[in-house]
Amino acid sequence: MKMASDNRSMFPVFLIDDAHLMEKESLMDICSLMFNPDMETVAASFILVGDETFDKRLQLQVMAPIKTRLTGIFALNNLSEAKSIDFIKFRLANAQAPETLFKTDAVSIMFSHCKGNRRQLMNMGTLLMAEVFYRQEKTIDAELIYNCDQIEISE
């Protein structure tokens, strides 16, 4: 199947999550996949998702070939503690879970540990819900977090 023609250009779109973990060489290889010089068309598109370290990495001069080919950069700022609490409440409401599932002390620890990063809050919440289910308890509190083997938090 021909991926590109004169009147209709089709190309694959790759989504790379946690792009901040990619090797520098892998990022440079992406440049060669973005453009087809023989046909002077787009060869592929990439959606790179990374944390704030990825943005800092793209500021380096050596990353200029990649940064200049990016169509857009969307920054997702970390949530404040109040917004983190609202975010957790919203997710609980969407799941039709009781609002009391996470105790106030647990939410504060989650915010401190995740620094308001939405993805980390979701991942930690998922781990804690699995843990509370495994232990056959009804709520997630600070004690459960400190005793959870999957999360490293010092008291």
Q: Are 42 and 9 in contact (CB under 8 A)?
A: yes
DSSP H helical ranges for the chain: 24-34, 52-58, 64-67, 81-94, 104-114, 118-134, 142-147
What pLDDT is attached to residue 4?
47
Q: List the chain domain ranges.
A: 13-67, 81-147
Rounded to the nearest 5 degrees, what angle is found at the Cα of 106, between the Cα atoms of 102 and 109? 145
Q: From CA 115, how far away is CA 121, in angstroms rounded?
A: 9
pTM: 0.61
Instruction: Looking at mean pLDDT, say which of 21-35, 67-81, 130-144 comes out highest.
Output: 130-144
Q: What is the pLDDT of residues 85-140, one digit of tens each?
A: 999 999 999 989 888 899 999 999 999 998 888 888 999 999 999 999 999 999 99
Give 35's contacts (C-beta < 8 A, 6+ positions apart).
41, 42, 43, 69
Which 3 state secondary structure label does DSSP give 133?
A: helix
Check pLDDT > 50 for residue 19: yes
